[in-house]
Amino acid sequence: MAQTSIILLAGIIFLIRYEPPESGLEYTSVFSILYTIILTTIPILLAYLTRKLTEFRSTIVFEILSLLSYVSAIYIISFPNYIYQHLPFISIVQNSTEIILIIPLYFGILGIHAVMHDVSRTRKEYITFRFRLLLLPLMPFLIINVILDILSFFPTLVAGLLLIALIIPLLALPHIIAPMLMQFLWKTKPLRDTELKQKIMELTENSSIKYKDVAVWETGGLSIANAAVAGIIPRNRRIFVTDALLRNFTDEQVETIVAHEIGHIRHKHLLIFCVIMVCYILSYTLFIQLVTDPLESLLPGYQLLITVIHIIFFIFYFKVVLSFLSRRFEHQADLYAIEITGNPDAFKSALLNLSIMSDLPRVLRYIIELFNTHPSIERRIRFLENAEKMKPPIQRYRKCLLEVKVLIFLIPLMGLLIYLINL
């Protein structure tokens, strides 16, 4: 899931940084559209043939190929130029309509997942699931662009001040609207199991956590076993459990899984993710001023190369730095789950069942785990066993992590550096 979002967001960065060439080959509209379709289709066809002829099942390879095809459509075929030429009215709200230009990559990735899904009886449900999942990174992008278009109607000074005032709310926006998005994108219903609901209520009361409702996400034939807590605003917060989780796990196991999600709230991980986004904006600003701006002056005309450098920074931050912090957060939530329920055996057995049902990795080599948001099941169980033995290194997970404190300290430091650079 995270890989798909990264590929799609990388495509958005390429699109945002695209500038029409001053001169170059001129293509007809029919040629541009036709080749954009061909470039979008080729990775899907290759994925289909690979699945039919080999045992290879890694979709990320074809997603990257789809991204390369999309970049070719943007920079070689100049696909955006023809959209703007034939839909001149969209120039008034150009930021908002950038969402139209991401459609080839969106359907390219969706097509790859459709042909790589092995089970024909659930293919329709799987495609619908992926279609909605791919909307998640696009919705905040669309909302932010709509706001930018609205601000463009204000005087420059006023628009700048309004944008500064809106930065924090915009960064928090995905976590504020997450419960509504999840209910909009996926079919949910209230939890009817009164006994389990009572246990969850007792958990939240013991944790001093407020929430609005417990909702069951109906996954149909996909049988996705999972749980989540969404929303940083208590009155809007919802606890989600999938129907497959309720069918295939005992109440004790479900209780510990929900306790894990409550642990994320208890340790304020959603709020910390907002801090991480602020840190990204500041570090990215410094990266532009200290790295890419000098490179652009040294390498004029190499816009595509500079954009690739931007993508590398983006991937490093969100696939290495953020994943590192996310794995720490998972350990914190795991530790909280066994302490609040007092049932480590139920939680460990739940983790093993999740690895089977949701195809989660039991064991991961360390170099691969560097890019994962979750530790392997084996590492998580070993961590819990160490916690039961009261090993000293585990103690730091019971309070605010040192890594988070460093991150918070870096924010004013980076802000000061940006200010000094721009003096």
Q: What is the pLDDT of residues 219-251, one digit of tens each?
A: 877 778 888 888 888 888 888 998 888 888 998
End-to-end C-alpha distance for the chain, whole angstroms: 42
pLDDT at res. 368: 60
pLDDT at res. 168: 73
d(CA 215, CA 42): 40
Query: pLDDT tens, 256-270?
Result: 999 999 999 999 998
Please report which confidence band the pLDDT of residue 361 belongs to, taking 50, 70 and 90 as the band edges: low
The two tokens of residue 17 are 């940084």
Evaluate whether 186 touches 206 at the Cβ level (below 8 Å).
no
pLDDT at res. 2: 47
Evaluate whether 269 touches 331 at the Cβ level (below 8 Å).
no
| pTM, two decimal places | 0.84
The two tokens of residue 38 are 């061909």
pLDDT at res. 21: 65
267 or 181, higher pLDDT: 267
- Segment 366-375 shows an average pLDDT of 70
Query: pLDDT tens, 136-177?
Result: 778 777 777 788 778 877 887 777 788 777 777 777 777 788
Mean pLDDT of the chain: 83
- Segment 334-341 shows an average pLDDT of 92
- Segment 265-281 shows an average pLDDT of 89
Residue 1 has pLDDT above 50, yes or no: no
Residues recorded for the chain:
423
Q: What angle do CA 375, 378, 384 make, to 5 degrees?
A: 85
Task: Provide the percentage of residues in the chain whose pLDDT is more than 90.
Answer: 19
pLDDT at res. 358: 64
